[in-house]
Amino acid sequence: MDSLFHWFDLIGVAVFAVSGTLVAYRKKLDGFGVVVLASVTAIGGGTVRDVILDAPVFWLQDQSYLYSIFVAAFITIVWVNKNKDFPQIVLEVADALGLAFFVVMGVQKALDYGVQDMTAVLMGTITCCFGGMIRDVLARQTPMVLKSELYATTCIFGGVVYTQSLNFSVNTEVAMVLSMLATLSLRLGALKWGWSLPVFHHIKTK
């Protein structure tokens, strides 16, 4: 089981590294900028989570995460240089896949440290969102988490699906798949149909 979680974690890191590399390309950054954006996107949220949990920072203990970032960034660079451009949906789908993988990893790590379900869901959401927030701030663009379509809410939903599946004695692997599918489906649905959680009724002015 630990090996399975580790591989899912590496996949999540790689997918978010792809997302960071695509943003770096769009912003016309140099090689160092690519490495920075790919890295903060991939490991930023998990780093914040581990600091809050007072846990050893995961990528300092296992260099395979850094290798995953570099390999994903390199493959993305080669692909982009060959195709010259990419549609915005590629970035958004890559980011959505990262959310699906990371929400399970973040929630499970928090549960391993003995926190309650609600706190674990919050840690999963931090794992998903903070890396992308740092990436977007560095790239001087509005963070995806602050845009109108559902973003952090999809992580919360996926985290709840995972914790409640475990509470109902669902097999861990099945709970992982259910959570990932729930997160990914809700995020992709939000991108396609513009789902959001409106709070304010803005007054139209002439």
In a domain, 163, yes or no: yes
The reported pLDDT for the residue numbered 83 is 84
- Expressed as residue numbers, the domain containing 50 is 2-193
Q: How many CA atoms lie within 13 A of 95 on its CB side?
A: 30
Question: How many structural domains are present in the chain?
Answer: 1
In a domain, 60, yes or no: yes
Residue of 145, 139, 133, 130 whose CA lies nearest to 196: 145
pLDDT digits over 27-84, tens only? 999 999 999 999 999 999 999 999 999 999 999 999 999 999 999 999 999 999 998 7
In a domain, 31, yes or no: yes
In a domain, 204, yes or no: no
Average pLDDT score over residue span 175-195: 94
- Mention every residue, 6+ apart, whose C-beta is less than 8 A from residue 38: 17, 18, 20, 21, 24, 69, 72, 73
In a domain, 26, yes or no: yes
In a domain, 78, yes or no: yes
pLDDT digits over 82-111, tens only? 987 777 788 888 889 999 999 999 999 999
The reported pLDDT for the residue numbered 88 is 79
In a domain, 89, yes or no: yes
Q: How far lies 179's CA from each of 5, 70, 85, 112, in Å?
A: 14, 27, 32, 17
Q: How far lies 61's CA from each of 42, 47, 81, in Å?
A: 16, 12, 33
35, amino acid identity:
V
In a domain, 129, yes or no: yes
